[in-house]
Structure 1
Amino acid sequence: MAPHDVSCPEEPCLEKPGDEAWAFTGHTRRDVVVVADRFAQFARGDRVLTMTGLLALLDADGLRAVDGHWVVHVGQGVDATDGDLLEAACDKSEGAVRLADPDTFRLPPEPPGIVHKDRPENVLLAGVHSPALTHCRAELRIHRDNELVLDHHTGEHVQGIVIIEAMRQICIAQFETAIRPGLTPAAYAGVWKRIDLSFEDFLFPLPATVESLIVESDLRRETNLKFRATTAMRQQGRTVATAGIEYSMIAQGRVDTLERRKADQATRAYLG
């Protein structure tokens, strides 16, 4: 099954506040991005800094190195705690450094249950929004301690397995937030039948969006709801990856019974 194109509004680039928001009289403005230390390979040059590097620069002694006015944008791996530290350091700069959008730094990830995870650091989505039952969109939010980035070295880009997991999570989040509230209360588990995936570009530790569009569904049996969706990951107007996905949301009790039976069969086959 070839993936379908998922249409969405063009992503905004890093917005720069106008002169009415912040005057730069007689000074040069520099926009920079801060990322978690986990993405240090991406933080080279003078446009991207790690949290440790930026905080050191904003130290009382290092502040002398700041040229003109700096506007700090959020990258991946930075959370609300980091935002508080940065905001406090910016306050000490007496106007030399400011956060582009403090609220962006504090945008929380979705609760783990929304994407069928147990640990908050493994949630990859924030700001899940469903303008329609069939269309769901969210911001990519990679925690610095996410299970998929703890032991991986690929240079400056984020590994593809993160994209795949984000696509899985957006499908689950779409079901949990837009579809399941209209069903009889029950717990469900996602069972994936097919993923037809195409990588088109690198994903970097900068803001990105992921979305899902349900193109076909079968809701006749509430214990086994079937979906076919197309998903896409986009970053600054670039399509990073697309996928056609077929999956079912099956009542948890039914999945438990089926899995237990198959696990017993597998064990007996292995032990003879």
Structure 2
Amino acid sequence: MGIYVVVANQFEDFARHENVMSYSALLQALKTSGQSVLRGCKVIAGQGLGRKEIQHAYRMAIASGYADEFDHWNLWTDAELAGQELAHKRQRKNVLISVPEKHDEGLYTANLLLHAENELMLDHLTGQHVQGMVLLEACRQMFLAVTERFHLDDYKPHKRYFVLNEMNVRYTAFAFPLPAQIRYRLIDLKQPRPDRVEVQATMEVWQGEHPVTGVEVKFCVMDAERLGLREATLASRALSSQVSTLRRRLRMTPCTDAQLMTEPISTL
């Protein structure tokens, strides 16, 4: 039995492999009457396809008489996408993970769900593999989502802010636009005071039987209002330092005609 995995057009190099097809090639095949390459095969939606593309291709397949070929179409893409409240992303296309699930004590998993129009894939997609920064962002979303869903029941502040203290990443193999899973293991969680939760965790991106990326992270969750006041103070201090540096540099630089037309130094 033949199998075709359909990936987004952006993965055109990967789509040259046997058993892989780009989305545009799929649509063309569905329009072909007679002996289509799809007849008698199983077609599965792969990475990079958005919900609209997945639904459009399925409706088109059913209308063209390919119900048997598409009976496993959603095998890899039926996981629920993590929402804004978990992944901290306003646009669905920028969410990279499914809703995390809890397994044994301290272990949580989610599926990697790529959208070809994700913010990290629009301007840097080379070769056949998934870029490392995409996997790193997926891990970042994973620790946000796991913490939001499972670890803040006793945390009082309604509006909270995540602060990343430390992140170490290693890449051990290429990841390709195929199914992948993120495994999150909680190492330590403590609440030293009512407005602060501190977390240490490790994550791995698995594809097939092997991890391809590992991440170690330390972060804390804080009261957004309290942190906002501190952030504003630090921002003002940083700006003041830079303005002072500019004043010193501009006093040492001879004025040109162009500089005379700009704002006077006294306004800095």
TM class by shorter chain equals 0.7 to 0.9
Aligned residues: 243
Aligned counterparts of 1:197 and 1:172: Cα–Cα separation in 2: 17
Alignment partner of 1:66 is 2:37: yes
Match of 2:113 among 138, 141, 164: 141
Matched residue type, 1:110? A
Contact 1:31 1:70 in 2 (8 A): yes
Distance 1:133 1:262, change over 3 A: farther
The 5-angstrom pairing of residues 117-196 of structure 1 reads 117-131=89-103, 134-184=106-156, 186-196=158-168
State which of 42, 53, 59 in structure 1 corresponds to 2:25. 53
Work out whether residues 79 and 106 of structure 1, in 8 Å CA contact, stay in contact via their aligned partners in 2: no
What amino acid is the match of 2:47?
A: Q
The percent of aligned pairs where both chains have the same amino acid is 25
SS class of match (1:219): strand
Q: Offset at 1:105?
A: 3.5
CA shift in 2, pair 1:250/1:67, >3 Å? closer
Using CA pairs under 8 Å that are at least 6 residues apart, name the structure with larger relative contact order, 1 or 2: 1
1:207 aligns with 2:176: no
The alignment yields a C-alpha RMSD, in angstroms, of: 2.0
Question: Secondary structure at the residue paired with 2:79?
Answer: coil
Using the alignment, how far apart are the partners of 2:151 and 2:76 within structure 1? 27
CA distance in 2, matches of 1:264, 1:133: 44
Aligned residue for 2:265?
A: none
Q: Among residues 204, 208, 212, which one is paired with 1:240 in the alignment? A: 212
Assess, with a 3 A threshold, how the Cα gap between structure 1 residues 133 and 219 changes in structure 2: closer, same or farther. Answer: farther
2:98 is paired with a residue of what secondary structure?
A: strand
Q: Cα offset for 1:43?
A: 0.9
Give the 5 Å matches for 1:77-92.
77-91=48-62, 92=64
Report the residue type matching 1:126 in the other structure. S
Unmatched runs of 5 consecutive residues or more in structure 2? 245-268
TM-score (norm 2): 0.84
* Aligned partner of 2:86 among 85, 99, 114: 114
Q: Structure 1: how far apart are the matches of 2:233 and 2:16?
A: 52
Q: For 2:243 and 2:217, how far apart are their aligned partners in 1?
A: 35
Unaligned stretches of 5+ in structure 1? 1-28
Q: Residue deviations 1:90-111, cap 9 Å, x none?
A: 2213456224243643434111
The 8 Å contact of residues 110 and 127 in structure 1, kept in 2 or not, is answered as yes
* One-letter amino acid of the structure 2 residue matched with residue 170 of structure 1: M
Q: Which moved more, 1:177-186 or 1:103-112?
A: 103-112
Seen in structure 2, the aligned counterparts of structure 1 residues 210 and 248 have a Cα distance that, compared at 3 Å, is same
Which of 28, 33, 44 aligns to 2:5? It is: 33
- CA distance in structure 2 between the partners assigned to 1:249 and 1:185 by the alignment: 10
Say which SS state the counterpart of residue 14 (structure 2) adopts. coil
Q: Give the superposition deviation at 1:185.
A: 5.1
Contact 1:83 1:106 in 2 (8 A): no
Q: In 2 relative to 1, CA 89–158 (structure 1 residues): closer, same or farther, beyond 3 Å?
A: same
Q: Which amino acid aligns with 2:49?
A: V
Report the secondary structure of 1:84's partner residue. Answer: helix
Which residue identity lines up with residue 27 of structure 2 in the other structure? L
CA shift for structure 1 position 41: 2.0
Deviation digits for residues 182-235 of structure 1, max 9, x if unmatched? 433522221111112111100111111112111112223231211110100001
1:46 is paired with a residue of what secondary structure?
A: coil
Bigger CA radius of gyration: 2
The letter of the residue matching 2:24 is T
Partners of 2:45 and 2:75 within 8 A in 1: no
Whether the 8 Å contact between 2:58 and 2:73 is mirrored in structure 1 is no
When normalised by structure 1's length, the TM-score is: 0.82
